[in-house]
Amino acid sequence: MATPDELLNRLHDIHGAAEPSWWPPAPGWWVLAAGALAALVVYLWRNRRESWQAQALRELARAERDFIQSQDAIRFVSDVSILLRSVSVSRARGIAIAGLTGDAWLQYLDESLATREFSRGAGRVLITAPYMPSADIDVPALLELTRQWLRSAN
C-alpha cells in the first residue's frame, strides 16, 4: 500500500483548456465574409459601369463646349473620333477594334447601335473630316449620334 507522500507525488498540476485558435473561423464568419465580398463586387461592378459612361459623356460635353467656343468642326470630329475609338477599345471583349479603319470602323459603330447613321449618315465624317482642311459637318447630328452610341454601349 502506498503512503500518503507517494500518493501526493503521483498527483499532477491542473492545466486549463488551451486557448482557442483564431483559424479557422466559425461558419458564421465565413457567411459574413462571403456576403461582404458579394456586396463589394456588385457595388464595384455597378459603379464601374456607370463611371466609364459618365466619364465618356463628360468628355463629349467638353468637346461640345470646345466646339461652341472655337467653331472648329474638324477638331470636334477628331475629338469625337478619338473618344469613340478609346471607348470601343477599352470595352472590347475579344474583338480586334483597334485595327478597324474606314468603312469597317463605321460598320462596327453601326452594328453596336443597330443603325446605319455612321456609315451612311452623320457619322460618315469620322473617316474623312479629320484629314480635310474644311468640311460641311452637321455637328448637332454627330453629337446626338455619338451620345446615343455612348449610352447604348455595354
Provide the pLDDT for residue 22.
Answer: 86
> What pLDDT, on the 0 to 100 scale, is given for residue 94?
61
8 A C-beta contact, residue 126 and residue 80 = yes
Taking the domains of the chain in order of start, what are their residue ranges?
49-154
Give the position of cell 468642326.
73
What is the structure's pLDDT at 118? Answer: 92
Question: Could you give the CA distance from residue 36 to residue 67 in angstroms, rounded to a whole number?
Answer: 46
pTM for the structure as a whole: 0.66
CA distance 59 to 79: 9
Q: How far apart are CA 149 and CA 63, in angstroms?
A: 16
pLDDT of residue 4: 87
End-to-end alpha carbon distance in the chain: 90
DSSP annotation string for 14-44: --PPPPPPSSSPPHHHHHHHHHHHHHHHHHH
Report the pLDDT value the prediction gives residue 143, as an integer from 0 to 100.
95
pLDDT tens for the chain, 154 residues long, are 788 888 888 888 888 888 888 888 889 999 999 999 999 998 888 776 667 888 899 999 999 999 999 999 999 999 999 999 999 988 876 678 888 889 999 999 999 888 899 999 999 999 988 777 777 889 999 999 999 999 888 6
Phi, psi of 137 (to 5 degrees): -120, 130
